[in-house]
Amino acid sequence: MKKVGVIGAGMTLFRRRLQETGKEMCFEAAKMALESAGLTRADVDMVVNGTAPDAFDGVHMKGEYLLDGCGGYRKPYTRVFTGGGTGVFSSIAGWWHVASGLADVVLVVNEEKMSSCQPHPQSVFAHIWDPILDRPLKPNLIWIFAMEMNRYMHVYGVKKEDIARVAVKNKRNAVGHPCAQLADPNITVDDVLNSEVLAWPVQRLDISPPSDGASAVVLASEDFIRRRRIKDRAWISGVGWCIDSTMWTDRDLHFPEYVARAAKQAYKMAKISDPKRQIDFAEPYDPFDYKELHHLEGLLLAKKGEAPVLTREGVTERDGDLPVCPSGGLLGVGNPIAATMGMKIGEVFWQLTGQAGKRQIPHEVHTGVSQAWGDLMQYGCVMVMSS
């Protein structure tokens, strides 16, 4: 298996509505990633596109639709889709293209344009539910999170204010992010606790916003990186992914077992036996504030029920012992589903190469983990990167 590095990253602004089409956003992000790596499209052997449900853009075969903007024209090109998990999974797919020896350079481009769907992208989220068991009840996607959050709070006795601290931390971290949609330097725990109740226990500021945006990363083999003398690179040292049954009403929602399995796979490959000691910072998937806590436990970076305590004690702040979502995460930067790769893979690359600017973790970091989550509380994928 060949050693693979991330050598460039790019992203557009994340906003509720962007004027650019999906293709145009892909082009902008892809061009930025290639330029930051000092490459052109001619250097790219293969292209991977990641994008979530076709129904948001309203174009079926969205992978083909976005192809030209992704730089995939007349090249081996594949679209991958694992729901919200696509934010990390497309880079895993890019990794195996290079690790297998098939390609030296792979461009990964993720896109989401949620504003096209009227009146609100929620309407098409209804189509992810089982047509016989769930859909007659007219579910709203937020119910998933509300039910999981309530179960998590109940089992571990977690207080809402400790969960709200995650939203505060991430929206404040996002202040240093040039693409952020919902950065807020002054937000407080009370703001979150007093925000509109949408589906209790979920309140408005517990949630990341729907967004338009695109992001891209460039992956290359060790041989290529040495040959071209590329200095800014972060090595992919472990990958893992796992999915649980669609029968989500048959499992206890307090712990994401599938994330733990994905993490164990990635850690084994990265030769990490003690993740709490060996991982310096994390970018877990945070579409909702409690999900960061849930995922830190799934990633085995906290014991079950311990992540809220670490948050309260400041351990997960940017200058804490285990910085979590130093990018500002989905809560602060925005949630164009697959394009969140910019805060997961992109941020870990920028942090490990010292390019994160105002968001740079103030102490030295060598190993970071990113994780994404999707489908009906089912899908976890994990990537470990090292400097």
- 11 forms bridges with which residues in the sheet? 215
252, two tokens: 């206890």
Task: Using CB under 8 A, pick the residue from 13, 242, 324, 369 that binds another protein.
Answer: 13
Could you report how far apart the first and last alpha carbons of the chain are, in Å? Answer: 19
Nearest approach in angstroms of CB 17 to another protein is: 4
Q: Which bin fits 328, alpha (ψ -120 to 50), beta or left (φ > 0)?
A: left
What mask, x for binding another protein by CB under 8 A, covers residues 218 to 257? ---------------------------x-x-xxxxx----
Half-sphere exposure (Cβ direction) of 329: Cα atoms closer than 13 Å = 36
By CB under 8 A, residue 1 contacts another protein = no
Task: Using CB under 8 A, pick the residue from 12, 86, 316, 340 that binds another protein.
Answer: 12
By CB under 8 A, residue 206 contacts another protein = no
Output the CA angle 119-372-271, nearest 5 degrees. Answer: 175
Residues 6+ apart with CB under 8 A from 272: 238, 266, 278, 279, 367, 384
Task: Using CB under 8 A, pick the residue from 17, 227, 271, 276 that binds another protein.
Answer: 17
Nearest approach in angstroms of CB 189 to another protein is: 21
Q: Which residues, numbered 44-63, are part of the site for another protein (CB under 8 A)?
A: 58
Q: Are 372 and 285 in contact (CB under 8 A)?
A: yes
Task: Using CB under 8 A, pick the residue from 42, 119, 157, 277 that binds another protein.
Answer: 119
Task: Using CB under 8 A, pick the residue from 40, 61, 64, 154 that binds another protein.
Answer: 154
158, two tokens: 């977690």
By CB under 8 A, residue 133 contacts another protein = yes
Which of these segments, 62-70, 263-271, 303-311, 354-362, binds another protein (CB under 8 A)? 354-362
Nearest approach in angstroms of CB 244 to another protein is: 10
By CB under 8 A, residue 26 contacts another protein = no
Amino acid letter, 171: K
Task: Using CB under 8 A, pick the residue from 42, 74, 138, 273 that binds another protein.
Answer: 138
Nearest approach in angstroms of CB 78 to another protein is: 25
Q: Measuring CA to CA, how many Å separate 108 from each of 120, 181, 307?
A: 28, 23, 32
- Distance, C-alpha 21 to centroid of its chain: 22
By CB under 8 A, residue 9 contacts another protein = yes
Which of these segments, 67-75, 149-157, 290-298, 378-386, binds another protein (CB under 8 A)? 149-157
SS3 107: strand
SS3 106: strand
By CB under 8 A, residue 348 contacts another protein = no
